């Protein structure tokens, strides 16, 4: 009587599927409402959180305590313009919140604090960053689903160029890098990465595996000269940071999907005619040890309800339940496919 059967190599198959879901809370595809917390407007010191980033909610956190952060916006300047220096002593001059933001993201992307963000070979001094909350996506953000609308004095529709330039992603320390361009659904409008007449490069860079977007502040200024600022000294209102929030709120349109890779392992459990036809189930016999069903004496029959997966030490690792009992005797064979997702 068979007790354990070892799977052969051809009995085990591994498959990977990609599951796409909407990124925003409650499965919303297009984020149309944008709120901030009143607690984020404190600039008590140069190191206050408000000088570094602004958390954006889908619901009004001032009214709904369960509101969840969707993403943050921040402004970085490699020379430290746009925020107060932490101290005015000696070599510390110029070290401020905006310089920290710029250094933080170039450290993530390039692995150092010397490389600068370049957009189609153009290197501006400042950037805007939209960082999607980690709770809003599974494995990564899905390229080709980014649709970001900004309204200052003019309206700008942004997307990544993953569809336009399929397979041409740049690989960085934090995964794939795509250009942010004018267009929709991963397709660029026009043919040049120099998105403005001044030749200031693309509108930004999209890092779907790390969950953030770095926008080219100079390209935004060239597109909408009377709205976007560089390194505003108006720290009391965090003008540079708030510009992005205001432009997003006015547009009320931010689309993005999450992508998850699910690996499945299939175990093809083959039960031959001469196997598993006897059972130790106590219900098969009466109190005297006689078969409750006398025909089983000449034609042993079992009903398979469960498949157990064991390791080499015979420890049970996983159990698969059949939807209904499967009749098994010496005249039948069975194939049960067991699927493990992880």
Give the residue-averaged pLDDT of 122-127. Answer: 94
In the predicted model, is pLDDT for residue 69 greater than 50?
yes
Label residues 52-69 b or e (16+ Cβ within 10 Å = b).
Answer: bbbbbbbbebeeeeebbb
Give the residue-averaged pLDDT of 184-209. Answer: 89
Could you give the CA distance from residue 76 to residue 16 in angstroms, rounded to a whole number?
38
Give the residue-averaged pLDDT of 191-218. Answer: 91
- Per residue in 13-55, pLDDT (tens digit) is 999 888 999 999 999 999 999 999 877 766 556 667 777 899 9
Could you give the CA distance from residue 240 to residue 83 in angstroms, rounded to a whole number?
9
pTM, full prediction: 0.78
DSSP string of 20-86, one letter each residue:
EEE-BGGGBSEE---B--GGGG--SSTT-GGGT-EEEESS-TTT-TT--EEEEEEEEETT-TTS-BS
pLDDT at 237 (0 to 100): 43
Which residues are within 8 A (CB) of 252 and not within 5 positions of it... i.e. 6 or more apart?
Answer: 32, 33, 34, 149
Could you give the CA distance from residue 138 to residue 194 in angstroms, rounded to a whole number?
33
Length of the chain equals 342
In the predicted model, is pLDDT for residue 235 greater than 50?
no
pLDDT at 172 (0 to 100): 94
Residue whose C-alpha is closest to residue 297's, from 288, 314, 284, 313: 284
């Amino acid at each position: 009587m068979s007790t354990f059967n070892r799977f052969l190599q051809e009995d085990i198959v591994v498959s990977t599927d990609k599951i796409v879901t909407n990124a925003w809370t409650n499965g919303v595809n297009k984020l149309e409402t944008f709120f901030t917390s009143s607690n984020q407007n404190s600039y008590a010191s140069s190191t206050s959180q408000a000088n570094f980033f602004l958390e954006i909610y889908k619901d009004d956190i001032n009214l709904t305590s369960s509101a969840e952060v969707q993403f943050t916006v921040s402004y970085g300047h490699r020379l430290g313009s746009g925020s107060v220096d932490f101290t005015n002593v000696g070599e510390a001059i110029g070290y401020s919140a905006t310089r920290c933001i710029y250094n933080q993201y170039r450290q993530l992307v390039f692995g150092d604090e010397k490389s600068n963000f370049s957009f189609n070979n153009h290197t501006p001094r400042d950037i805007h960053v939209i960082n999607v909350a980690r709770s809003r996506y599974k494995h990564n953000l899905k390229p080709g689903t980014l649709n970001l609308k900004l309204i200052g004095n003019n309206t700008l529709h942004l997307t990544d160029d993953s569809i336009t330039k399929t397979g041409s992603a740049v690989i960085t320390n934090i995964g794939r890098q795509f250009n942010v361009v004018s267009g929709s659904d991963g397709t660029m409008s026009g043919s040049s990465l120099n998105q403005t007449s001044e030749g200031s490069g693309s509108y930004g860079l999209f890092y779907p595996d790390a969950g953030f977007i770095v926008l080219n502040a100079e390209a935004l200024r060239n597109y909408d000269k009377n709205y976007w600022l560089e390194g505003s000294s108006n720290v009391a209102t965090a003008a540079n940071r708030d510009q992005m929030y205001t432009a997003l709120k006015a547009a009320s349109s931010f689309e993005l999907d999450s992508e998850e890779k699910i690996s499945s392992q299939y175990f093809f459990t083959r039960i031959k005619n001469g196997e598993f036809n006897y059972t130790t189930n106590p219900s098969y016999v009466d109190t005297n040890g006689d078969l409750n069903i006398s025909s089983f004496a000449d034609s042993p029959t079992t009903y398979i309800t469960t498949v157990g997966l064991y390791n080499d030490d015979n420890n049970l690792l996983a159990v698969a339940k059949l939807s209904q009992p499967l009749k098994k005797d010496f005249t039948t064979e069975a194939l049960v496919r067991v699927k493990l997702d992880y």
